[in-house]
Amino acid sequence: MNSCNEEEVPMRLHSAVEYLLHSHSDQLRSIILSPDPKLHYPLFVDYAELMDADPPLARLVFANPTDYLRFFDQAAILAHKRVLKDMVSHEKGVEKKFIHVRFNVCGSPLEFPETFPTIGRVRVKHRGILLTLKGTVIRSGAVKMYEGQRTYQCKKCKHMFPLYPELETRNSITLPSICPSQRSNPCEGTKFLCIENTTVCHDYQEIKIQESTQVLGVGVIPRSILVILQDDLVDIVKAGDDVIITGILTAKWSPDLKDVRCDLGPILIANHVRKTNEMKLEIDIPDDVAMKFKQFWLDFRDTPLKGRNTILRGICPQVFGLFTVKLAVALTLIGGVQHVDASGTKIRGESHLLLVGDPGTGKSQFLKFAAKLSNRSVITTGLGSTSAGLTVTAVKDGGEWMLEAGALVLADGGLCCIDEFDSMREHDRATIHEAMEQQTISVAKAGLVTTLSTRTIVFGATNPKGHYDPDQPLSVNTALSGPLLSRFDIVLVLLDTKNPEWDAVVSSHILGEGEYGNGKQDEDLANIWSLSSLRGYIGYVKKHFKPVLTKEAERVISNYYQLQRRSATHNAARTTVRMLESLIRLAQAHARLMFRNEVTRLDAIAAILCIESSMTISAIIDSIGNALHSNFTENPDEEYAKQEKLILENLSLIDESPESNGLEGFN
């Protein structure tokens, strides 16, 4: 890209100053009132507004950002001096040395694919223009300092001029061949003197962003690119953050390594960074779709559980039956409500689910379908897809230690599906406990000490170690420790036991799928919710419903908790407090699933049935059976009435004492 014409610089600089004074005087005044004159201050400008106010100047910023971003920084300094001069005497303003104009391209034409490509489609044609890229931060380096400007003087004519380092030449400064002064009689001097105390240094940080796997097709490798953050932009993002970065694409020489060819790699020098973490779970639901959801529940107001089962049939419809698993998947994806008590302690709202089963029981099918239902998801195995594994690790890149985020950090705010859960790396086993319960990962590796967020739903699947022995505890059958298993709200064991009746039903279903023109089959498919409808419904209920426990639901959960405490062995008693929290989360999730803002007795009993289906808890109510053989009933509301009566009879063994229910502070 050619350098700008020297004659038009004063005119364009004047235009930039006038624009900033007219449209951003409030920001300039705020910067002036800040006390520290040595800090680097950002001045945010919407590119769309600049296009409306001064289209030629906006086009120059896009076509030649290397020069015109510097001009805007100079214009910001000049504009702030004029504002400072016009301020009244009682306002104590301080002149600033460094102001950087940051262009936000949101809502402008620069969001079109040509100037907003995916990272994998970045090419040479994008070099030298104002480019915007979207991705997830997978590595973040330490903050360094580098020399960003040096002033020289011609020995012959005494002309002073600034020089800037070039990334292509490893941040070295190249002196001009002759004096760059624009005089009528050029001096053509060739000797220059560096003026002391004119060096300007900048904070500097390298991060690496990777394109989201959600927008990639099967078999496409996600690409990544290095990004340089400077001055006020350093340390505003960390590994796992979703970002949209606007900057200048340039190239950088790779480090000198023995027997390795040295080449140029693409790098983005950031001008503006926008974090989009708060948008991770946001799904826009049109009003007409929301009305369909409301009408659906009006149609099933007399038989609510039949309506619930209609929704559940849409979860992994290619797998026959498995009602208990589909209910558990739905409750896990919807989750409960996060609670923060008076001391600031957080009780997570996300639920975790583990499927333990024989090969061929559909575990991986549920993992993949759950990933499609989530707006943000990562699928991996226990060994992890990178050296970072599931949590985080320190890697050395170009002689510098950087943090690389693992699957749990990259899935922050979404869903992490982990197949072969028992094959985790050793360092993952040590840190996943904190990641699942406290929803953070504390890192102290290679001198890098930080805390990363992992507000993630964990959906794991694993095979039993050898032949499953029902007489042995789950920790023995899976080679997973008891404390790790206690982090899961629901653990379902799918055993492929011999059951002639079930085998006949399943074989008829599979063989019937291949028959075309089957009227009943077509009718069943028409009643199944589509994937997009399920995604929209889950997003809608998570956003609009914050269920609160009713007194009736509190009593049911409290009595069940006390019954478990009495029957549990001394070693198992530690985990029942977590079980109480799991019951509340599952009851809240069921209330959301039922389109309600309060947790009723029905929701509490549904949560108890899910907990009872877990083999990690001693089954007090022995009416569940094998989760693999659970099927949808014709009249679920009548079936529930029988289960409710059985459960309430079991819970009536305890004296009800509201003052000791143990649920204080959860509402």
Look at strands 160-163 and 144-154 and give their pairing.
Answer: antiparallel
> Does the pLDDT value for residue 59 go beyond 70?
yes
Strand order in the sheet with 415-419: 377-381, 415-419, 457-462, 353-357, 490-494
Per-residue pLDDT tens digits for 648-663: 877 764 444 444 444 5
Res. 487 pLDDT band, cuts 50 70 90: confident
Tokens of 213: 């796997």
Domain extents in the chain: 12-110, 112-274, 288-343+532-655
Contact indicator for 597, 545 with CB cutoff of 8 Å: yes
Question: Where residue 589 falls among pLDDT bands split at 50, 70, 90?
Answer: very high
Instruction: Give pTM, 2 decimals.
Output: 0.76
pLDDT per position as a tens digit, 311-360: 888 888 877 778 888 889 999 999 888 887 777 777 888 889 888 887 87
Mean pLDDT of all residues in 191-198:
84
Could you tell me which residues come within 8 angstroms of residue 601 by beta carbon, excluding any fewer than 6 positions away?
550, 552, 553, 556, 644
Distance CA 27, CA 16 (A): 15
Express each pLDDT in 90-119 by its tens digit. Answer: 567 778 888 888 988 887 877 777 778 888
pLDDT number for residue 117: 82
What is the homologous superfamily of the domain 112-274 according to CATH?
A: Nucleic acid-binding proteins (2.40.50.140)
Per-residue confidence (pLDDT) for residue 658, from 0 to 100 = 44
Integer Cα distance of 539 and 374 in angstroms: 9
List the helix and strand counts (H, then E) for the chain: 20, 23
What is the CB-side half-sphere exposure of residue 68 using CA atoms within 13 A? 26
pLDDT of residue 219: 61
CA dihedral 407, 413, 415, 416 (to 10 degrees): 20
646 against 328, higher pLDDT: 328
The pLDDT assigned to 259 comes to 65
Measured distance CA(209)–CA(273) in Å, rounded? 12
> What pLDDT sits at residue 279?
53
CB 132 within 8 A of CB 150: no
pLDDT at residue number 613: 79
Other residues' Cβ atoms within 10 Å of the Cβ of residue 456: 26
Q: Is the pLDDT of residue 258 over 70?
A: no
Contact 159, 179 (CB under 8 A): yes
What digits encode the pLDDT tens for the residues 120-167? 888 888 888 888 888 888 888 778 888 878 888 888 888 888 888 876
Radius of gyration of the chain (CA): 31
- Give residue 591's pLDDT: 92
Distance from C-alpha of 469 to C-alpha of 471, rounded to nearest angstrom: 5
CATH architecture of the domain with range 12-110: 2-Layer Sandwich (3.30)
Q: What does the DSSP 8-state code read for residue 274?
A: E
Report the pLDDT averaged over residues 63-70: 86
Res 525: pLDDT: 47
Task: Write down the pLDDT at residue 579.
Answer: 82
76 residue type, one letter: A
Amino acid at 174: T
DSSP code per residue over 27-62: HHHHHHHSS-TTSEEEEEEEHHHHHHH-HHHHHHHH
The predicted structure's pLDDT at residue 592: 92
Mean pLDDT within 372-392: 73
How large a percentage of the chain has pLDDT more than 70?
83
Tokens of 640: 């529930």
Residue 590: per-residue pLDDT? 92
Structure tokens at 24: 């951003």
Amino acid occupying residue 23 = S
Name the band, by pLDDT with cuts 50, 70 and 90, for residue 473: confident
Q: What is the mean pLDDT of residues 460-480?
A: 81
pLDDT of residue 657: 44
Least Cα distance to 355 among 473, 482, 488, 191 occurs for: 488
